[in-house]
């Protein structure tokens, strides 16, 4: 039996694979490409398969060959590349989740864990969103995530697949490269660690829901492991770092460790229009009540751990 991780070569996926590999289970990593040297860093219980999530036959072949019992579906095109090519985004994000769920149905896969996003809420005037907030995304990424959530819930009701999902906030961690309007958060921390100047394209009072990568990976594993009778809501908000830091709060925290860091603010009006549509607070009551979820890393904990992780990666020649 095996666990399949689609998008397992990406930022979140590769860290999830490392965690699952430590449990001594067979892990099959499926992605369109892998960073040079990545495969050699994993133990023998991790199998790498290069392929396209849009190709249904490739997913079926993996199911047949590896006897998959659980799937973590992380493969996706994110907001910026999705807006640049919405047609490709639909193939990856919408068709991809359909391929995974249909293959799971055919091969009697026990469990599918889906990564959605707070981008599924879209333009909202609400400062605070909950699991009951109406989802009205206006970009193709958010639209495809809502489709994935609803399709998964349908497959649970129609075919009995144990579908579970989380809406992930902006991710903090060393090595975030994918373009995005909220990526100044991890980038400013890493710039300070490297000793290079950084200009933040948001205002000092901007608040973006965010979470450290280690908490996000832990949420996926804990949701997977939660007893079936605890799962009622199916797709959950994860919440965020509390108290929610402004961009200035983040800079002040960074400067506790790097007082000489050259960080400036130069708000980009076009980006600010997008940032102002993102809710400031995301509530996670259902996840907390149903499967005991809680965020463990504060903003200070996150900055300190990113400093340590960067040092480890630099020592290993990956910094």
Reported as a single tens digit per residue, the pLDDT across 243-295 is: 999 999 999 999 999 999 999 999 999 889 888 878 889 999 999 999 999 99
- Could you identify the residue written with the tokens 């809680």? 294
CB-based contact 140:114 (threshold 8 Å): no
Instruction: Quick: pLDDT tens for 35-77.
Output: 776 777 888 899 999 999 999 999 999 999 999 999 999 999 9
**Model confidence pTM above 0.85:** yes
Residue 276 has phi, psi (to 5 degrees) of: -70, -10
Residues belonging to the chain:
319
Burial of 268 (0-12, 13-18, 19+ CB in 10 A): middle
Residue 198 has phi, psi (to 5 degrees) of: -145, 135
Of 145, 161, 55, the C-alpha closest to 99 is 55
Instruction: Quick: pLDDT tens for 1-10.
Output: 899 999 999 9
Instruction: Quick: pLDDT tens for 94-146.
Output: 999 999 999 999 999 999 999 999 989 977 767 899 999 999 998 999 999 99
Beta strands (DSSP E) in 130-259 are 162-168, 170-172, 198-200, 210-212, 235-237
Query: What is the predicted pLDDT for the residue at 318?
Result: 60
- Give, for 264, the enclosing helix (H) or strand (E): strand 263-265
Domains of the chain: 2-170+211-238+281-297 (3.40.50.720)
Q: What's the CA gap between 142 and 120, in Å, rounded?
A: 4
- Give, for 88, the enclosing helix (H) or strand (E): helix 86-89
Contacts of 189 (CB under 8 A, 6+ apart): 172, 250, 254, 302, 303, 306
CA 99 to chain CA centroid, Å, is 20
From its phi and psi, is residue 12 left (phi > 0), alpha (psi between -120 and 50) or beta? alpha
């Amino acid at each position: 039996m095996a666990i399949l991780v689609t998008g397992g070569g990406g930022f979140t996926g590769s860290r999830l694979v490392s965690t699952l590999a430590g449990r001594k289970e067979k892990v099959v990593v499926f992605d369109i490409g892998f960073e040079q040297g990545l495969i050699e860093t994993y133990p023998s219980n991790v199998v790498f398969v290069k392929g396209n999530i849009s190709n249904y036959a490739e997913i079926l072949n993996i199911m047949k060959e590896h006897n998959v019992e659980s799937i973590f579906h992380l493969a996706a095109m994110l907001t910026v590349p999705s807006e640049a090519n919405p047609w490709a985004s639909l193939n990856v994000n919408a068709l991809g989740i359909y391929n995974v769920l249909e293959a799971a149905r055919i091969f009697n896969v026990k469990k599918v864990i889906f990564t959605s996003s707070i981008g599924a809420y879209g333009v909202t005037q609400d400062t605070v969103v909950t699991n009951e907030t109406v989802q009205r995304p206006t970009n193709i990424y958010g639209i495809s995530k809502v489709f994935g959530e609803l399709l998964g819930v349908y497959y649970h009701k129609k075919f009995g697949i144990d579908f579970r999902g989380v809406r992930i906030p902006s991710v903090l961690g060393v090595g975030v490269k994918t373009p995005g309007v909220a990526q100044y958060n991890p980038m400013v921390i890493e710039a300070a660690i490297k000793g290079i100047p950084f200009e933040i394209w948001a205002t000092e009072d901007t608040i973006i829901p965010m979470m450290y990568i280690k908490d996000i990976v832990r949420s996926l594993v804990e949701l997977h492991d939660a007893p079936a009778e605890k799962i009622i809501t199916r797709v959950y908000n994860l919440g965020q770092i509390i108290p929610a830091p402004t961009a200035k709060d983040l800079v002040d925290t960074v400067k506790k460790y790097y007082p000489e860091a050259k960080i400036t603010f130069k708000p980009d009006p076009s980006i600010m229009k997008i940032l102002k549509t993102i809710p400031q607070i995301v509530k996670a009551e259902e996840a907390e009540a149903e499967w005991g979820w809680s965020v463990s890393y504060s903003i200070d904990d996150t900055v300190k751990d990113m400093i340590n992780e960067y040092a480890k990666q630099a020592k290993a020649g990956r910094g």
